[in-house]
Copies of this chain bind each other. A is one copy, B any other.
């Protein structure tokens, strides 16, 4: 089988995805005309096979996730997507059919989130598939929603539901008889456990949880409402407890969360009924890609209303308080603190 050259590969699979500034991917660089009165917001995320996704995840899912985790960062900053650049390191065994499915999935995700391809680089990997995406967004000048601006008295709100992706990852690992991507130190025992509680779930619930692991849903519809109402925000990618701790440390404040207010899907509730101990995984597991924000009390109602109009669920889960230290989660009468690094891909 003859292999495509890098130029042919780009022309066949990626040039059709290029936005206006991408110049058909036929130049060394992309060009952007920033709009007057806007700031550019920039974020980069790298994903490696076996660490952030399973090597045999569907290629379209890998593409959607790689772009989605970046667009989620933009959404949390109140930014509207502008475009992205892709770095793709392909392992020796790549095939054209894999690449075609990857490019198709990438194009669909880029269309869904109005975030066109602007440029890229394709190289041979030393090891497994590795992806790097740099995403660009824009906000009105000076309006990027920062992580470290929360103040005592702010209400903590979260979009969507929490814990689904972490549960879905366990189910996917168990279903495939595979080791978990290596960031999850709980290892093979956790996979065996997933066999037990997973059996208590309906097929639809299992599918829901795995889908949430494979396909992040960046909350870009919330951008303008966040800019208008939130004091601070970040996306939850490394677990609610750990990311809330980061936000409070950067803000110089502390937090109290009412555990029973943390929004859970029906599938996650079913899993918790089968194994109440999963609450730790729900609160510390990663890959949620929901938005955590700190909102002045008088802005909670307008933010919730605008989120509803945008089709994004929003729940108030606690409060920013003066002080320092790890956030407190009130769960069934107990006060829990989750040590930093309870979940990390690194």
Contact = CB atoms under 8 A, between A and B. Distances in A.
**Chain multiplicity (copies):** 2
B77 A126 contact: no
A260 interface: no
A89 interface: yes
B144 A29 contact: yes
A325 to B, nearest CB: 16
Interface in A83-123: 85-89, 118-123
A87 B85 contact: no
A141 B89 CA distance: 33
A319 interface: no
A6 interface: yes
A310 B141 CA distance: 35
A44 B346 contact: no
Size range of the chain A interface in the assembly: 35 or more
A28 B234 contact: yes
A183 interface: yes
Contact of A6 (B7, B27, B126, B346): B346
A235 B38 CA distance: 31
A189 to B, nearest CB: 21
Contacts of A87: 44-46, 87, 132, 134
A83 to B, nearest CB: 9
A28 B123 contact: no
Nearest to A35: B34
A7 B124 contact: no
A31 B40 contact: yes
Contacts of A217: none
| Those 4 A-B pairs whose CB atoms lie nearest each other, nearest first | A127-B127, A132-B132, A126-B128, A34-B34
Given A29-B42, A33-B40, A124-B345, 12 more contacts: A27-B148, A29-B41, A31-B40, A34-B34, A40-B40, A44-B86, A44-B121, A46-B89, A48-B130, A51-B125, A51-B126, A87-B87
